[in-house]
Structure 1
Amino acid sequence: MAAGVEPVDVLVVGAGAAGLACAGDLAAAGLTVRVFEGSDGVGGRMRTDVRGGFRLDRGFQVFNTSYPQVKRRLELRGLRLRPFAPDLLVHTGEGRLRVADPTRGPVRLGRLADLVPGRLGSARDLAALGVLSGRDLLAPPHVLKHGADRTTRTALSAAGLSEEFVDRVLRPFLSGVFLEDELETSSRFFHLVWRSMLRGTLCLPAEGIGAVPAQLAAALPPGTVRLESPVEALTDDGVLLTDGREATATAVVVATGPGAAVRLLPGLAPVPTRAVTTYYHAAPEPPLTEPVLVTDSARRVLNTAVLSAIGPTYAPPGRALVSTSVLGVTGTPDEAEVRRTLAELYDTDTDGWEPVAEYRVPEALPAMPPPWPLTRTTRRPAGDGSAMSDAGGARRYLCGDHRATGSVQGALASGARAAREVLADLGA
């Protein structure tokens, strides 16, 4: 072993949400842990850049306060959360229509006007949506987790929602949640996400989404995380870093994205993923002062929002920051085409808007078609070149949202499961 890399109980590869959660639980149990991260910061896909006074999350992000793992691990007050309005604006051929949650927010006639049958949808559609939402809101989580798994589109149809209403109102919004526009995603995951949105608040941290993993990392013992330390390969006794150093441990937890995981664990089956591109524009004044998400029934974009209306810290004084996301990372519209679409969505002149940044995220979410396992073991099975025998060598584990559900909750829960299984196997 090269000098300067002391052996530890557990090595974690990747300082995203899953890896940090795993490391936190292992350290709390008294094990010595080292986290190797190839980039210059923690967070994985949950990173925030600061350019010219603008806070730019790497891809559009939201933070849900109702996730159990979030409640368990994070000190929410320290994140200085800024909430989205409990509404959704859908741009249609008749202009913007408001999908309002009548149980939250101010009770005003103008805010609830589009819930009158015939505006957003028929009385039957609105009633069916109310019944579906009430069930998901009140049902115990295990009921939703163990229901029949089918596509989200099939589940919405079975709930009595018309195809017209789904395509006009729900599909544009859910496409931004799942990062696919055919609603092929597992209905179990849909019901759990719908429940979390009804029970929690969608927010953004004042310092950007990167504040979330930063808080997780700050809770670890000093020196646990080693940045700019990419792992080249796993060895029988630990890992080999790209600089030639080796590190040894009793167990290794791979907590990377699915592509890197396949590279490190050759016996692992590839996981299909969803991709997204997010454009940031600076405007001289906000095209919308309400902190609300806007979707497009024509599905030219997934969604758009004035981030500086949600959190003033996202833009310098006198400027507004607009975030807009589209599906995919190839064949996407160019910046000028996106800006022309935004002129229609916001009903304003966007000629003077300046492009600030463009983020392409090829592994933004795992694809989750039914039947999708909501959780699975993190232990690597013997016989696939990934697990060591009892005779010696480091045990190997794999965690991440692609091993659970494509969400912060899924990533944290998978990391927690990896820690539990490591502790059980090591008898700690």
Structure 2
Amino acid sequence: MTTHPVTIVGAGLAGLTCATYLHRANIPFRLIDAADAVGGRVRTDSVEGFTLDRGFQVLLTAYPECQALLDYDALNLQPFYDGALVRTHGHFHRIADPFRHPFDAPRTLFAPVGTLADKLRVARMRSALTAQSINEIFSQPEQPTRQVLATRWGFSDLMIDRFFRPFFGGIFFDTELQASSRLFEFLFKMFAEGDTTVPAQGMQAIPNQLAAQLPSSSIDLNTQVAALENNQVRFDDGTSAPASAIVIATDAPAAHNLLGDETISTKQRSTTCLYYAAPESPLDDPILALNGDQDGLLNNVAVMSDVAPSYAPDGETLISAVVVGDPLEDDDALERTVRRELIDWFGLPAGGWTHLRTYRIEHALPDQTPPSVRHDANMVRHHDGVYVCGDYLRTASINDAMGTGRMAAEAIRTDRSVPA
């Protein structure tokens, strides 16, 4: 009988999910992370009474892995408006999901964001992708998203540049839309089938909810793993611990280093998020505002307290401004540039907004230029007794961070012949 626990390195969503399914199967585990809290890249800070997620992040309620494991009611999810405001030539134009907001359909149809035919193509694509299973989407040939938008779906350059580039470029952190078409079509399906939300207490409520279901004695934080050695994990203080199996649930660069695996790409996508406090909201709805012109640094702006009032103290407003990538300017110069653009977008009152914090997320997402999205249940088995999980294995999403964590736990259970 195996006596040592499974050691999971990394307490982000992948590691927490793996631990959850191992715990349900009565397989002992030890969950280790170098950080001071669980969550990995899904973290939230409280600053002067404001709730600041580390980078602009959302939870799509249609994610099947989240539906299987999370208690949405307990998270008190707060929804965005289903659509976006696209800013072009100094004016905002509403692009709504006509199936959710039929009264806004006329404005959407005639907005100068693509052609009328493009709007009809969106409806056709929505119908086609919601009819496909996720496995069917992942079985399609991979192409860059921009290419598949033009060739498979027939969108004009105008529609791609004014809507898809800022909207999905802000999700992929890739404004050239070179990310895998499988990732795009999967996410489009998820947007169409559910709500776009944040938990009332911030995105870290998601990993916190998972961790609360685990034995606290099995979670070790502030613990840095230095190397893997013969079924043991060696820590940076020189000590080591034996493991019956090891799961590397880190991001791709850390997995590459720990495993010495050159096949794990370390190429990452970056993002920068600036938060501001304001006396009132510049928008009328809990909606994402997009840069439909290919100029400036700003890609998208959201008034987070319009979406989730709990993100700001009473009488205050919290605004998130996102720049794709990691600009060369230092933080002060970057903030001045972003503020000038915010004034251009929303008028002189933006000049008086209080800058709260800037987050530069160097390793925000794995690069997902094709070929990248795998469709292989064995991808979580690295070598004898060592397993891997993380969003870099499939799609750069909360769903597949959690999904690969589940798959790693199932692989361990199967390899030990533990009944489901």
After TM superposition, the score normalised by the length of structure 2 is 0.93
State the partner residue of 1:195. 189
Deviation at 1:118, TM superposition (A): 6.1
Q: Is the 8 A contact 1:283 1:319 kept in 2?
A: yes
Q: Structure 2 counterpart of 1:181, which letter?
A: T
**Local SS of the residue matching 1:208:** coil
When residues 267 and 118 of structure 1 are mapped into structure 2, their CA distance, relative to the original with a 3 A threshold, is closer
What fraction of aligned residue pairs are identical, expressed as a percent? 36
When residues 401 and 374 of structure 1 are mapped into structure 2, their CA distance, relative to the original with a 3 A threshold, is same
Aligned pair partner of 2:227 in 228, 233, 248: 233
Deviation at 1:297, TM superposition (A): 1.3
**Local SS of the residue matching 2:149:** helix
Aligned pair partner of 1:325 in 322, 326, 332: 322
Q: Is the 8 A contact 1:27 1:33 kept in 2?
A: yes
Q: Is the 8 A contact 2:93 2:111 kept in 1?
A: no
Aligned pair partner of 2:127 in 130, 134, 138: 134
**Local SS of the residue matching 1:340:** helix
When residues 380 and 118 of structure 1 are mapped into structure 2, their CA distance, relative to the original with a 3 A threshold, is closer
State the partner residue of 1:416. 406
Residues in 1 aligned to 2:109 and 2:244: alpha-carbon distance in whole angstroms: 62
Matching of residue 220 in structure 1 with residue 214 in structure 2: yes
Q: Is the 8 A contact 1:87 1:292 kept in 2?
A: yes
Deviation at 1:318, TM superposition (A): 1.9
Larger deviation, residues 232-241 vs 134-143: 134-143
Q: Structure 1 counterpart of 2:124, which letter?
A: V
State the partner residue of 2:336. 336
Larger deviation, residues 138-147 vs 372-381: 372-381
Residues in 1 aligned to 2:139 and 2:27: alpha-carbon distance in whole angstroms: 35
Residues in 2 aligned to 1:373 and 1:197: alpha-carbon distance in whole angstroms: 19
Deviation at 1:156, TM superposition (A): 0.8
When residues 375 and 412 of structure 1 are mapped into structure 2, their CA distance, relative to the original with a 3 A threshold, is farther
State the partner residue of 1:258. 252
Residues in 2 aligned to 1:380 and 1:248: alpha-carbon distance in whole angstroms: 19
Q: Structure 1 counterpart of 2:150, which letter?
A: S
Aligned pair partner of 1:38 in 7, 27, 34: 34
State the partner residue of 2:302. 305
Residues in 2 aligned to 1:418 and 1:268: alpha-carbon distance in whole angstroms: 21
Q: Is the 8 A contact 2:327 2:334 kept in 1?
A: no
Residues in 1 aligned to 2:137 and 2:238: alpha-carbon distance in whole angstroms: 48
State the partner residue of 2:394. 404
Aligned pair partner of 1:153 in 146, 161, 164: 146
Deviation at 1:348, TM superposition (A): 4.6
Residues in 2 aligned to 1:260 and 1:272: alpha-carbon distance in whole angstroms: 12
Residues in 2 aligned to 1:427 and 1:413: alpha-carbon distance in whole angstroms: 21
Residues in 2 aligned to 1:47 and 1:227: alpha-carbon distance in whole angstroms: 14
State the partner residue of 1:3. none
State the partner residue of 1:284. 279
Residues in 2 aligned to 1:61 and 1:118: alpha-carbon distance in whole angstroms: 27
State the partner residue of 1:166. 160
Deviation at 1:375, TM superposition (A): 4.0
**Local SS of the residue matching 1:350:** helix
When residues 116 and 348 of structure 1 are mapped into structure 2, their CA distance, relative to the original with a 3 A threshold, is farther
Specify which structure has the higher proportion of helix.
2
Q: Structure 1 counterpart of 2:52, which letter?
A: L
Larger deviation, residues 414-423 vs 135-144: 135-144
Residues in 2 aligned to 1:118 and 1:79: alpha-carbon distance in whole angstroms: 35
CA distances 1:191-222 after superposition (whole Å, capped 9, x unpaired): 11000000010001011000000001111123
CA distances 1:98-135 after superposition (whole Å, capped 9, x unpaired): 11111113x43xx3332234633322212222211211
Larger deviation, residues 246-255 vs 125-134: 125-134
Q: Is the 8 A contact 1:271 1:402 kept in 2?
A: no
When residues 244 and 118 of structure 1 are mapped into structure 2, their CA distance, relative to the original with a 3 A threshold, is closer
Q: Structure 1 counterpart of 2:370, which letter?
A: P
**Local SS of the residue matching 2:100:** coil
Q: Is the 8 A contact 2:366 2:391 kept in 1?
A: yes
Aligned pair partner of 2:12 in 4, 7, 16: 16
Residues in 1 aligned to 2:106 and 2:219: alpha-carbon distance in whole angstroms: 52
Matches within 5 A, 1:39-78: 39-78=35-74
Q: Structure 2 counterpart of 1:98, which letter?
A: R
Q: Is the 8 A contact 2:138 2:373 kept in 1?
A: no
Residues in 1 aligned to 2:198 and 2:381: alpha-carbon distance in whole angstroms: 35
State the partner residue of 1:391. none
Residues in 2 aligned to 1:150 and 1:396: alpha-carbon distance in whole angstroms: 31
Larger deviation, residues 117-126 vs 400-409: 117-126
Q: Is the 8 A contact 1:189 1:405 kept in 2?
A: yes
Matching of residue 316 in structure 1 with residue 316 in structure 2: no
Residues in 2 aligned to 1:268 and 1:211: alpha-carbon distance in whole angstroms: 34
Structure 2's unaligned 5+ residue stretches are none
After TM superposition, the score normalised by the length of structure 1 is 0.92
Q: Is the 8 A contact 1:12 1:35 kept in 2?
A: yes
